[in-house]
């Protein structure tokens, strides 16, 4: 089914009962648009989840102080209005900070497409390792998210075609540069090495920050950053191919059931009472208006399960156990529903568009419609999904309709590179960790092989999206502990080398 | 004399009779402003000068074709108006181009603060070395200069506070990125290594381009680029200290005469008929209105002589020969005038503000009033000039008065770095040549020591501003030939290494 034929996209926020709330990207759009899974490491601790109590270094709000920096609206322009400033939020945890006298390091988490507040709690890497490094912990919010929206409400900022023009990655990186230089000055700690880190889109930002601002960041730790999913460096169907592989690896029968189900839905929807029959079968809170409503929901569900397919409860296995474990007289669609119930839990009804418009989804819709063009699609029979090729024209028209401007699909590779990344960075740059878990569909756009001695790829077979940024837990499997230790060891070596260079220069 | 006390600055364009026309920066401003010597390698072949006939590879206009690229107005913004395009000029010389089948290199001269037309003729480095490398020669004009001014006349563009906001280095670098990627595509030569080069401000651009766009440029050759003259990394008086040293090295008595002359001018100007007496003594075309008019002229003259103190006729020596060689009964000011005559030649009268407003000076005035803040000044008795400390407040106020915006003096170091450049680039980046001639006052803000194996400094004791970019001439002294050979050898090695890496990746 061609993308242009698709019904309006839904977007959904999944409250995963086992660990975290994660956002997905189904565009908040009324125009027909591609399914672009959500990039963010958008974590919210689920307070009902007892597993947070297993964290080795629990989050303590009192250690974290919130500040605001008067940030330049437009770093790359000198029009009078470029000089306007807005309040950018950042959070500092000084608990383990060794101070300027020993040039103790600064760990800076670069905010991605979400409110920072949840990140500070959900990201464990800084908290877990600050003591070892005597590091200052800093979290900086991305412009136009959370409390870092220029001039009033987010709604107004996003409605204003002039203002939202400033909402992009190059400006965000310059924001981070200003805040970090300010902090070094404020703490009188010019010699402190800065390590930037982030996940998913935030991991791209960390990578790009190291490449563009090597004078500010000594190194970057980029978790699950699909820096190569631009401009067709990575095959368009790579994302869905990994989702498919995750399900196939979990259970061939489950994969086959899913693969067959799309046609079943189409056939049912095409009958006279089909939509009502489907609504009942899937116990939807609202009657289905179109078969694609259900298909989009399932698409999102499978992508979420794959992207966050992690311990202790691997969602792909959960879904497949539901599908495969349905009673023997179940048909395909009964099995699919059993998968939903297994994953989402028993509910009085299933709301296919719950948590409808969210800040992250609205912001990300703009970002993907301006510069972050990820040409994710899929062909005929190359995944367990129906064909849905990426079509730039359709995509572009839809963005134009929503925002009055068209995306610049080549800008990311023009400004940040990506093509021939191995040849380019083999003898240029240093100190970047690209970590990826192969269960994560976005790993297909990541750097999966070492580029040089100090631009390295850490890959875990069982890892998922941004898993290694999560708080260390008693329940972490051994391979995850090993991965995190390796990351810490590499950062440790960067800093050691830096101190030796520093010592030599005195 | 405090900067605030100074009379309006003149600016001057010196037609040096021995080789080239060079521009100087005296700001085209009606506000009191610091003396900031001109950065540009702004060369115009003087057709009356027979020395051009000694060039080993004479300029042939027929080899050079001019094109225009539809350039994005604002790369860092997604407002509807950001998408507007303007025509950016570039020139290609295919004469020696080895073609895409051998991935022959591209040499790209990055235009600086001037009309490109003169550069193509005056820059010899590409023409002299294209045959050896089978290189495509490309020259790209800097936005807002020459024929690359957005939307109509330069006057309109510069008067328009919105439009001139887009006139800055980050946008210019992104322009170069777009043009170079376009050219690689146009010539179907994805694997061709690109070497960028430039002089003075253009040399900064080349450096920054390599650091920010390593995926596009394999290496950068930056001639006389004072990348460290920002944010007080270099002492404020460094520029004038080198000018002083040049004169002192040429002749102590000449230096002393100049040093005493300022007070003589002040004392004369303070008498009742002093200005008229001075006008007559210096044979000025127009009566002096203020002593500073003469002093600014002399300041400019000495700076020019020092900056372009090069063979075959070393201007500092020429000036000093004039000063020292004046008849025995000459007083100080007679000697100064003899220096002018020696340097500028005999004229019916001397126009202290000839070539008044030029495109380069107007554009450069804006650039230095927005981001390129070079805090050049001098203290009391630390140079052969009168004290004229750099005062940011005065500077900023003057810019505000002219343009309605204030400079961002920390932006260059925020975006491009510079502080601790050795520590930063020791293990990051590669393939940059910083060449400097120590006669050039701007060498004081250059990189004068090797940073790593492939980020190297080439320094010549007798070199001057951008001398190594000039066409190879039969008259080149041996040390200059050696310097140029060394530069070519280094670039040769970059490209060799690149081809080996490329071969390995296939």
State which H helix or E strand residue A86 sits in. strand A85-93
CA B36 centroid distance within chain: 12
CB B396 within 8 A of CB B310: no
Q: Tell me if A415 and B77 make a contact (CB, 8 A cut-off).
A: no
CB B286 within 8 A of CB B352: yes
B422 touches chain A (CB under 8 A): yes
* E strand spans, B347-504: 432-437, 455-460
**What is the average pLDDT across A496-501?**
96
For the residues A82-106, what does the mean pLDDT come to?
97
A154-184 per-position pLDDT tens digit: 999 999 999 999 999 999 999 999 999 999 9
Predicted local distance difference test score (pLDDT) of residue B54: 85
Whether chain B has a CB inside 8 Å of the CB on A74: the answer is yes
By Cβ distance, the residue of A405, A422, A426 closest to B80 is A405
Q: Which residues pair with A457 in a beta bridge?
A: A434
Bridge-based pairing of strands A13-15 and B13-15 is unpaired
Q: Does A233 touch chain B (CB under 8 A)?
A: no
pLDDT number for residue B418:
97
Non-local (6+) Cβ contacts of A348 within 8 A are none
**How far apart are alpha carbons B325 and B448 in whole angstroms?**
35
How many other CB atoms are there within 10 angstroms of residue A330's CB atom?
15
The answer to whether residue B23 scores a pLDDT higher than 70 is: no
**Higher local confidence (pLDDT), B35 or A402:** A402
pLDDT in tens, A185-194: 999 999 999 9
Q: In 3D, which of B380, B408, B402, B383 has the Cα closest to residue B2?
A: B380
The residue from A43, A465, A468, A476 that is catalytic is A465
How far is it, in rounded angstroms, from Cα B399 to Cα B477?
A: 43
Q: Kindly report the CA angle at A282 between A281 and A285, in degrees rounded to 5?
A: 120
Summarize the confidence of residues B197-218 as an average pLDDT: 98
Query: Which of these ranges, A31-45, A134-148, B102-116, B142-156, has the smallest mean pLDDT?
Result: A31-45
Q: Which tokens sit at B441?
A: 């006052």
3-state secondary structure of B133: helix
How many angstroms separate the CA atoms of B155 and B157, rounded? 5
Confidence of residue B6 (pLDDT cuts 50, 70, 90): very low
DSSP conformational letter for B476: -
- B36 and B388 Cβ atoms separated by less than 8 Å: no
> Which tokens go with A50?
């007892």
Residue of A nearest to B366 (CA): A78
Instruction: Judge whether residue B10 has pLDDT over 80.
Output: no
Report the residue of B70, B76, B165, B396 to disrupt the A interface, i.e. the one with the largest count of A CBs within 10 Å. Answer: B76
**Closest chain B CA to residue A432:** B428
Query: Considering A200, A261, A398, A444, which one is annotated as catalytic?
Result: A200
What's the count of helices (H) and strands (E) in chain B, helices before strands? 17, 11
* Pairwise CB contact (< 8 Å): B79 & A177: no
Is pLDDT at A48 greater than 70 in this prediction? Answer: no
Nearest by CB: A166 against B77, B411, B419: B77
Tokens of A173: 């990186």
> Looking at CA atoms only, how far is residue B104 from chain A in angstroms?
17
Contact B429 A165 (CB under 8 A): no
Q: Which of B114, B148, B192, B200 is catalytic?
A: B200
| Tokens read off for B224 | 């006389």
What DSSP element (H or E) covers B71?
strand B64-72
Which segment of A15-29, A322-336, B25-39 scores lowest on mean pLDDT?
A15-29
- A428/B431 CB distance under 8 A: yes
The minimal CB distance from B165 to the residues A77, A170, A419 is found for A77
Handedness of CA A340, A345, A346, A349 (dihedral sign): negative
Is some CB atom of chain B closer than 8 A to the CB atom of A213?
yes
The interface residues of chain A toward chain B in range 377-396, judged by CB-CB distance below 8 A, are: none
**Could you report the per-residue pLDDT of A97-147, keeping only the tens digit for each?**
999 999 999 999 999 999 999 999 999 999 999 999 999 999 999 999 999
Mutation target vs B (from A182, A215, A216, A219; most B CBs, 10 A cutoff): A215
Using the beta-carbon criterion (under 8 Å), do A165 and B77 form an inter-chain contact? yes
Cis ω before A312 (30° cut-off from 0): yes
pLDDT at B478 over 60: yes
What is the b/e burial string over B26-65, where b = at least 16 CB atoms within 10 angstroms of the residue's CB?
Answer: bbbbebbbbbbbbbbbbbbbbeeeebbeebeeebeeebbe
Query: Are the beta carbons of A288 and A266 closer than 8 angstroms?
Result: no
Q: What angle do CA B365, B370, B374 make, to 5 degrees?
A: 70
Contact B174 A415 (CB under 8 A): yes
- Nearest neighbour of A168 by CB, restricted to B76, B216, B429: B76
Q: How far apart are CA B179 and CA A24, in angstroms?
A: 37
pLDDT per residue as tens digits for the range B384-420: 999 999 999 999 999 999 999 999 999 999 999 999 9
What is the per-residue pLDDT for B274?
96
ipTM attached to this prediction? 0.91
CA–CA gap between residue B269 and residue B277 (Å, rounded): 8
CB–CB of A414 and B177 under 8 A? yes
Give the closest residue to B204 by CA, choosing from B70, B368, B18: B368
Specify whether B440 is catalytic.
yes
Quick check: A177 and B415 CB within 8 A?
A: yes
Span A377-388, average pLDDT = 96
Residues in chain A: 506
Q: What is the pLDDT of residue A51?
A: 55
Residue A336 falls in which region: left (phi positive, over 0), alpha (psi -120 to 50) or beta: alpha
pLDDT exceeds cutoff 80 at B38: no
Rounded CA separation A437/B465 (Å): 53
Alpha helices in A46-160 (DSSP H): 116-122, 125-133, 154-159
pLDDT of B439 higher than 50: yes
Contact (Cβ atoms closer than 8 angstroms) between residue A26 and residue A293: no
- With contact defined as beta carbons under 8 Å apart, do B477 and B53 qualify? no
- The string of DSSP letters for B345-358 reads ---SSB-TT-S-S-
Per the prediction, chain B carries an average pLDDT of 89
The total of other beta-carbon atoms located within 10 Å of residue B11's CB is 25
Q: Catalytic: B236?
A: no
Over the Cα atoms of chain A, what is R_g? 23
HSE-up of residue B136 (Cα within 13 Å, Cβ side): 25
Distance CA(B471)–CA(B55), nearest Å, equals 6
pLDDT at B367 over 90: yes
Has A398 been annotated as catalytic? no
Q: Are residues B233 and B418 in contact, defined by beta-carbon separation less than 8 angstroms?
A: yes
Give the pLDDT mean for B337-356: 87
Cβ atoms of residues A8 and A32 within 8 Å: yes
- Name the 3-class secondary structure at A72: strand
- What is the radius of gyration, based on Cα positions, of chain B? 23
Could you please report the per-residue DSSP string of A273-319? THHHHHHHHTTBSS--S-HHHHHHHHHHHHHHHHHT--SSS-HHHHH
- The answer to whether B414 contacts A177, with C-beta atoms less than 8 Å apart, is yes
The 10 Å CB-count burial string (b at 16+, else e) for A168-188 is bbbbbbbbbbbbbbbbbeebe
Taking alpha carbons only, the member of B195, B463, B159, B129 closest to residue B314 is B463
How far apart CA B242 and CA A241 sit, in angstroms, is 64
Q: What is the mean pLDDT of chain A?
A: 89
Q: Residue B493: phi, psi to the nearest 5?
A: -65, -40
């Amino acid at each position: 089914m061609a993308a242009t034929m698709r019904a309006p996209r839904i977007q959904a926020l999944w409250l995963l009962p086992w660990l975290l709330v994660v956002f997905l990207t189904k565009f908040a759009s009324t125009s027909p648009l591609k399914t672009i899974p959500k990039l963010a490491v958008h974590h919210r601790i689920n307070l009902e989840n007892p597993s947070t109590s297993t964290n080795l270094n629990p989050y303590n709000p009192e250690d974290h102080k919130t500040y605001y920096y008067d940030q330049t609206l437009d770093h790359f322009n000198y029009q009078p209005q470029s000089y306007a400033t807005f309040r950018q939020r950042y959070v500092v945890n000084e608990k383990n900070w060794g101070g300027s006298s020993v040039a103790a390091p600064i760990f800076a988490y670069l905010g991605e497409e979400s409110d920072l507040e949840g990140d500070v709690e959900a990201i464990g890497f800084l908290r877990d390792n600050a003591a070892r490094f005597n590091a200052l912990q800093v979290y900086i919010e991305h412009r136009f998210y959370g409390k870092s929206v220029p001039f009033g409400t987010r709604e107004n900022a996003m409605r204003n075609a002039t203002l939202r023009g400033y909402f992009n990655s190059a400006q965000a990186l310059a924001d981070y540069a200003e805040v970090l230089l300010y902090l070094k000055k404020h703490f009188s700690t010019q010699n402190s090495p800065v390590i930037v880190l982030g996940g998913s889109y935030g991991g791209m930002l960390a990578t790009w920050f190291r490449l563009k601002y090597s004078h500010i960041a000594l190194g970057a730790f980029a978790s699950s950053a699909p820096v190569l999913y631009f401009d067709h460096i990575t095959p368009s169907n790579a994302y869905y191919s990994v989702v498919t592989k995750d399900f196939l690896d979990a259970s061939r029968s489950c994969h086959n059931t899913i693969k067959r189900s799309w046609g079943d839905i189409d056939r049912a929807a095409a009958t006279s009472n089909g939509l009502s029959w489907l609504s009942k079968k899937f116990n939807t809170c609202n009657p289905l208006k179109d078969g694609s409503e259900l298909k989009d929901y399932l698409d999102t569900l499978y992508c979420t399960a794959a992207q966050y397919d992690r311990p202790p409860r691997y969602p792909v296995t959960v879904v497949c156990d539901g599908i495969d474990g349905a009673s023997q007289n179940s048909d395909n669609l009964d099995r699919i529903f059993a998968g939903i119930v297994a994953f989402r839990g028993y509910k009085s009804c299933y709301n296919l568009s719950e948590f409808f418009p969210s800040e992250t989804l609205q912001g990300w819709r703009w970002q993907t419609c301006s510069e972050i063009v990820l040409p994710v699609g899929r062909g005929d029979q190359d995944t367990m999904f129906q064909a849905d090729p990426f079509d730039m024209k359709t995509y572009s028209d839809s963005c134009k309709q929503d925002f009055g401007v068209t995306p610049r699909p080549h800008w990311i590779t023009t400004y940040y590179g990506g093509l021939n990344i191995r040849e380019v960075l083999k003898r240029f740059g240093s100190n970047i960790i690209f970590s990826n878990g192969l269960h994560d569909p976005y790993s297909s756009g990541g750097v999966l092989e070492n580029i040089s001695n100090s631009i390295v790829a850490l890959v875990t077979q069982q890892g998922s999206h941004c898993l290694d940024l999560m708080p260390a837990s008693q329940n972490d499997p051994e391979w995850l502990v090993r991965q995190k230790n390796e990351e810490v060891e590499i950062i440790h070596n960067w800093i050691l080398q830096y101190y030796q260079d520093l010592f030599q220069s005195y």
